[in-house]
């Protein structure tokens, strides 16, 4: 992998990740951009105790532009974009409309391919491995920023999810606090450790799913994927390395080598569960990594949560009163049935 750092016209950092070591990246961003002036604010909810990012400037971000005006496609003669070069493998750059910035963290955009009409599932294993290297590198660099407490790599796909740019891409959020979801996991892990005299909750969850077997979607030498016993979403898969590690940086060589194929397999199953020739399945793909300084980091387990809000063809799972108002999820698909369908969706 070759990494090249440059700056966009407004001063934001852009990083090229190339599979070839001899790739030269010297294109210059000639757009007449003013420096980014953003003032995201983190406010604490006194009742729930969680943090909310207030980012009013995001109202002006691009909203579903046509392919010919896509800001994530490479720059071509007569049309300049966020990526100055006319082609790329993987690119990471600071978001022009960030939810977090300055002392309130950092937001980055990750472009997986220059092909506007592709998806992550269309990538080969070599390109998926390059994305994994980019995720790992960004986690390592962002961890060094004094204001950053947790790094979150994720991808949202599909207009149904709320994606505003059709080009295949993901994001990285560097939070200045431990997210509420992670705090709850750490609290549950601490309770489990106290109850069991030192047992690890994540290890227990994975062991239970392997022992039960009914919700296993796929298992390899270094990874196991399953629909969780209490799945919140119609089709939801959790992917864990068999050897527990806190974040992407800690994966060993064997697990790292196997991950691209496993991840692509899961994404392609999601696109097949509703039948061949159907619209691409909207999904959220979220990597959960341990916070850097929180108590319990040593007990946390890196894992992926992949889920869709589509419960059947033409029907979506909306967050209605119970979910939005009280955070009590009601799942219309039994996890065992979801796992069976995802097993059947394996490629021939």
**For residue range 77-110, what is the model confidence (pLDDT) as tens digits?**
889 999 999 999 999 999 999 999 998 999 999 9
Fold assignment, 180-344: HIT family, subunit A (3.30.428)
Mean pLDDT along residues 202-229: 98
DSSP string, 266-306: HHHHHHHTT-TTSPPPPEEEEEE---SSSTTGGG---EEEE
The average pLDDT across 304-315 equals 96
Q: Specify the pLDDT at position 348.
A: 56
Q: Phi and psi of 47, rounded to 5°?
A: -85, -45
- Judge if 2-175 and 180-344 fold alike in CATH terms: yes
pLDDT digits (tens, 9 = 90+) for 113-154: 999 999 999 999 999 999 999 999 999 999 999 999 999 999
- What number of H helices and E strands is found in the chain? 6, 15
Give the start-to-end residue ranges of the domains of the chain: 2-175, 180-344
| Mean of pLDDT over the chain | 95
Distance CA 64, CA 235 (A): 26
The CATH classification number of 2-175 equals 3.30.428.10
Tell me, what's the pLDDT at 133? 98
* Predicted local confidence at residue 60, as pLDDT: 74
Q: What residues have CB less than 8 Å from 304, skipping those under 6 apart?
A: 237, 238, 239, 240, 263, 285, 286, 287, 288
Is 169 one of the annotated active-site residues of the chain?
A: yes
Stated pTM of the model: 0.96
Our measurement of the distance from residue 313's CA atom to the centroid of its chain's CA atoms, rounded to an integer in Å, reads: 24
Tell me the pLDDT tens digit for each residue of 239-269. Answer: 999 999 999 999 999 999 999 999 999 999 9
Q: Which of these is catalytic: 30, 57, 116, 169?
A: 169
Who's near 167: CB < 8 A, 6+ residues apart? Answer: 70, 72, 73, 111, 116
- State pLDDT tens for residues 17-62: 999 999 999 999 999 998 887 778 999 999 999 999 998 878 877 7
Instruction: Check residue 276 and give its pLDDT.
Output: 83
């Amino acid at each position: 992998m070759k990494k090249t750092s440059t700056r966009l016209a407004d001063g934001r950092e852009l990083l090229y990740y190339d599979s070839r070591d001899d790739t030269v990246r010297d294109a210059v961003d000639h757009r007449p951009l003013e420096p980014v002036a953003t003032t995201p604010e983190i406010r604490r909810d006194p009742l729930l105790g969680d943090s909310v990012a207030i980012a009013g400037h995001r109202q002006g971000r691009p909203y579903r532009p046509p392919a010919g005006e896509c800001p994530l496609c490479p720059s071509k003669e007569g049309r300049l974009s966020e990526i100055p070069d006319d082609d790329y493998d993987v690119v990471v750059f600071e978001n022009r409309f960030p939810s977090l910035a300055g002392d309130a963290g950092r937001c980055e955009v990750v472009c997986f391919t220059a092909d506007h009409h592709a998806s992550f599932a269309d990538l080969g294993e070599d390109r998926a491995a390059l994305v994994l290297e980019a995720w790992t590198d960004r986690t390592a660099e962002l961890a060094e920023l004094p204001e950053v407490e947790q790094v979150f790599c994720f991808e949202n796909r599909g207009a149904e999810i709320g994606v505003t740019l059709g080009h295949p891409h993901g994001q990285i959020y560097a939070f200045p606090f431990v997210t509420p979801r992670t705090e709850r996991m750490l609290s549950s892990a601490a309770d489990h450790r106290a109850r069991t005299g030192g047992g690890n909750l994540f290890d227990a969850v994975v062991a239970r799913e392997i022992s039960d077997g009914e919700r296993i979607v796929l298992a390899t030498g270094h990874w196991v994927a399953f629909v969780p016993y209490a799945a919140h979403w119609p089709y939801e898969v959790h992917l864990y390395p068999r050897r527990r590690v806190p974040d992407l940086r800690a994966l060993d060589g064997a697990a790292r080598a196997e991950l691209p194929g496993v991840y692509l397999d899961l994404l392609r199953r999601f696109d097949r569960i509703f039948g061949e020739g159907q619209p691409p399945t909207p999904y959220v793909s979220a990597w959960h990594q341990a916070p850097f300084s929180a108590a319990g980091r040593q007990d946390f387990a890196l894992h992926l949560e992949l889920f869709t809000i589509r419960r059947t063809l033409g029907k979506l799972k909306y967050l209605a009163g119970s979910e939005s108002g009280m955070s009590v999820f009601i799942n219309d698909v039994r996890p065992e049935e979801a796992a069976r369908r995802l097993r059947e969706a394996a490629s021939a």
